Amino acid sequence: MRKVSLDLGQALSVFDTALQLPDTDEVQAQREQDEYSNELVDFHEARLIEVRRRRLSLARTRSVR
């Protein structure tokens, strides 16, 4: 293993960067929430498309009569 040395400025910079990084658990929780939100949006978009198709089909059926 090789020893790496940092001066005080570099060490403080590394420490500051580490403090700014989000907690892994928070990141995972946010990802799960985002995935759930995306799935919910996809579900509602699919439902809206289905409703529009049914209305269009019904309108076509009525116009043929």
Domain boundaries, the chain: 22-64
CA distance 33 to 20: 21
**pTM given for the model:** 0.52
HEC letters along the chain: CCCCCCCHHHHHHHHHHHHHCCCHHHHHHHHHHHHHHHHHHHHHHHHHHHHHHHHHHHHHHHHHC
6: Cβ contacts below 8 Å, ≥ 6 apart: 14
Per-residue pLDDT of the chain (65 residues; tens, 9 = 90+): 677 777 888 888 887 787 777 778 888 899 999 999 999 999 999 999 999 999 999 999 888 76
